[in-house]
Amino acid sequence: MNSQSKIFILFSFFVLFIITGCENNPSEPDFQNEITVFGYLYGNEALGPERAISIFNTRPVTSYYDPYEAAVKDADVTITLKSDGSVTKLIPVSNKPGYYYNDSLHIIPKETYLLTVKTGDRIVTASTTVPAELESESQLSTNSINYEYNTNLGYEKPVFLEHENADQIIMVEMYCNEPYNNAEYVNPFNGHNYPDDEEEYEGSGSGEPRRIYALVPFKDLVSGLYNNRNTIYWYSSMIVFYGSNTLHIMAIDDNMHHFLTKENPELSGGVNGGIGVFGSLCGIQYQLYIKK
């Protein structure tokens, strides 16, 4: 699974509806058509098909949701680099209606990008400023799989970070890549070693989640154990399952931060004239394989 779908597995398309009062039939809420935008720019990477920005229409909550019908297939989508005014036109992904990309666009940290979506008589806009790069140091390798035993999940191999902005929000995410039928708990949950069902595996209800993330300001990562260096411990509480896991450590922009933390996320992601999120990040990732 690529990092967009990992990170951005939690962002489904919104069905927006409004119940206007007790006098209306609650089984038939009023419907408000919105353009939804979901996309992230990754610092130092191209906006390729795997990073495509999705543009869809909302559908009434009472109607069957057909992604093909909801997709906005004829949008004029551009991204403008604010510093020099250069404009890049995004093109549709051939086999994924509603997704737009241009792999000639290489995202530069600390730059501001403006998104414009025109479809019919509607215009949706958004902007994001890409965070500065994260510098890291660790015994973990970013170029190969790190095979670790579950006895090593404490403080043995921390990740040390450097960043120019003390207030920068850092997102730390651990994601299990194992399929449902091969997922085994590191610490037995409710007296059993395997998820009872796929719902439990995905972390809904009272199950242990396959994805865990935390948000913290960079300045709060200072560790007295390591001469006050800014430190990430990928401790045991972030490792739920044996096998393949991916650790992401990312500096995220304000739009992404607000989308993850505000009460109405679809209205807090920096999108004007529509809903969703248009964000950016700079980060590193480690592939981990946890052995018994």
71: β partners: 56
Residue 214 has pLDDT above 90, yes or no: yes
Query: What number is the average pLDDT over the span 254-273?
Result: 95
Query: What number is the average pLDDT over the span 209-217?
Result: 92
Distance CA 289, CA 106 (A): 31
Residues 146, 81: contact at Cβ < 8 Å? no
Which of 10-19, 45-54, 75-84, 205-214 has the weakest average pLDDT? 10-19
* Average model confidence (pLDDT) across the chain: 88
Tokens of 285: 């990732």
% of the chain at pLDDT higher than 70:
88
What lies within 8 Å, CB to CB, of 246 at 6+ separation is 3, 6, 173, 174, 175, 177, 285, 286, 287, 288
pLDDT tens per residue, range 246-257? 999 999 999 999
